Each structure stands twice: as C-alpha cells, then as structure tokens.
Amino acid sequence: MAEDILVLANEFAEVHVSKVLTHNGVRLRIRDPKSDREVLLCPLELESLTWQDSELFTSLLATPHGPEDS
C-alpha cells in the first residue's frame, strides 16, 4: 500500500509527512525532499513535542541549513 503523503509548505520550506508502519508499530516520517534528510518520530517523541514551545524550534534553527560539522 502506497503511503499517503501530506505535503506541508510555505515559501521557506517544504516537507513531506507520512505515517510509516513498522513491523510492530508506527512512526511519523518527516522528510525534506530537497536535502533528502528525514526523521522518524514515535508517538512518545511526538507527545514530547506537545509540551515544547516555539523557542525549542528557534534554537534548532540557529543553524539554518542543518548541523554544521566543524
């Protein structure tokens, strides 16, 4: 079964979001088609996001193109 992909975009970014069934459970895949990076989040991780405020993401965006190796 093809996964249903949800595309979320604004003028700054585009991500593809989908539900991924693992052998024994489920994860949420967030993929950035431009860099080909992705993250698979389990329900517990997603729950933890609900108690974050926007400052968490602000700090993640301190390196606007992702991690810098230096």
Partner 1 sequence: MVNLAELTRDIRSGMVPAYVYNDADLFTLERDHLFARSWVFLAHESEIPSPGDYVVRRIVDDSFIVVRDEQGVVRVLFNMCLHRGMQLCRAELGNSSHFRCPYHGWSYKNDGRLIGLPFHGDAYGGDRGLVKKEQRLLPAPAVDSYRGLVFASLDPDVVPLRDYLGDFTFYLDFYLNQSPDGIELRGPQRWRIKSNWKIGAENFCGDSYHTPQTHTSVVEVGLFAEPKANKRKEGALYFAGRGGGTTYKLPPGTFEEKLRYVGYPDEMITRMRQNWTPEQQRVVAEDGFMVSAATAFPNLSFVHNWPQINADGLIRPFISLRQWQPVSESETEVLSWYAVDANAPDYYKEESYKAYLMCFGSSGMFEQDDVENWVSITSTAKGAMARRLLLNSRMGLGLDDDVISQKPPSFSGPGRAYVGYGEHNQRSWLSLWSQHLGYSGDPAEHSPVPAGDAAGEGDR
The nearest distance, CB 3 to partner 1, in angstroms, is 25
Q: Does 58 bind partner 1 (CB under 8 A)?
A: yes
Report the distance separating Cα 57 and Cα 39, nearest Å: 15
Stretch near partner 1 under the rule CB under 8 A, chosen from 6-14, 15-23, 29-37, 41-49: 6-14
State which of residues 11, 22, 35, 50 lies at the interface with partner 1 (CB under 8 A).
11
Q: Give me the sheet containing 5-9, strands edge to edge.
A: 5-9, 14-21, 26-32, 37-41
Residue 27 amino acid letter: R
Distance (Å, whole) CA 21 – CA 48: 20
Binding site residues, partner 1, CB under 8 A: 10-13, 53-54, 57-59, 61-65, 68, 70
